[in-house]
């Protein structure tokens, strides 16, 4: 009975480790770190006949990505373009955002490595008399700092 509980806990920990690694990666790639004021179409010079049919636009900015309005396609349903604004590391918005990118990237790499190793903990639970769970938990704590 005790072995079954340990196995269920390790499976839950493995699943949560994988989910957290993916969530952190998605957060890093997101362009929704800063969200601007809502802009209506009428303030951008579009005829007033289409204003009521579309929602106000909110420009967004992420660590290296952003979403902006495409000016020549304002009548279509897909009138925003999201993608990287920084083609290299020096073009990231500020030094603080560059530091954030470095720390998040290192944390995500650690979390992905732990998620990968946690799959193998189903079969092997210790290496050289060290618990893999303790080592991976320590790495997850370091990644979370």
> If pLDDT is split at 50, 70 and 90, which confidence band does 22 have?
very high
pLDDT in tens, 48-81: 444 444 567 778 888 878 887 776 655 555 667 7
pLDDT of residue 80: 76
Average pLDDT score over the chain: 79
Give the DSSP letter string of 21-80: HHHHHHHHH-S-SEE---B-GGGGT--GGGGGGSPPB--EE-SSEEEEE-GGGTTSS--E
Residue 11: pLDDT above 80? Answer: yes
CA nearest to 57, candidates 72, 37, 78: 37
Sign of the CA dihedral 127, 129, 132, 135? negative
**Overall average pLDDT of the 35-60 stretch:** 63
The more confidently predicted of residues 54 and 40 is: 40
- Where are the chain's structural domains? 30-38+54-85, 93-144
The more confidently predicted of residues 106 and 124 is: 106
**Overall average pLDDT of the 11-38 stretch:** 87
Residue 109: pLDDT above 90? Answer: yes
Could you say which DSSP state residue 85 is in? Answer: S
**Overall average pLDDT of the 20-34 stretch:** 88
**Stated pTM of the model:** 0.71
14-28, 30-44, 79-93: which has the highest mean pLDDT?
14-28
């Amino acid at each position: 009975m005790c072995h079954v509980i340990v196995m269920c806990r390790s499976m839950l920990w493995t699943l949560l480790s994988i989910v957290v690694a993916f969530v952190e990666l998605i957060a890093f790639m997101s362009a929704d770190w800063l969200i601007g004021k809502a802009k209506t179409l009428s303030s951008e010079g579009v005829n007033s006949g289409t204003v009521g049919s579309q929602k106000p636009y909110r420009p967004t900015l992420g660590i290296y990505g952003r979403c902006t309005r495409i000016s020549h396609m304002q009548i279509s349903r897909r009138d925003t373009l999201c993608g990287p604004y920084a083609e290299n590391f020096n073009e990231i918005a500020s030094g603080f955002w560059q530091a954030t990118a470095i720390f998040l990237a290192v944390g995500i790499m650690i979390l992905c490595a732990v998620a990968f190793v946690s799959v193998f903990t189903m079969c092997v639970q210790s290496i050289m008399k060290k618990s893999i769970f303790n080592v991976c938990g320590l790495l997850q704590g370091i990644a979370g700092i």
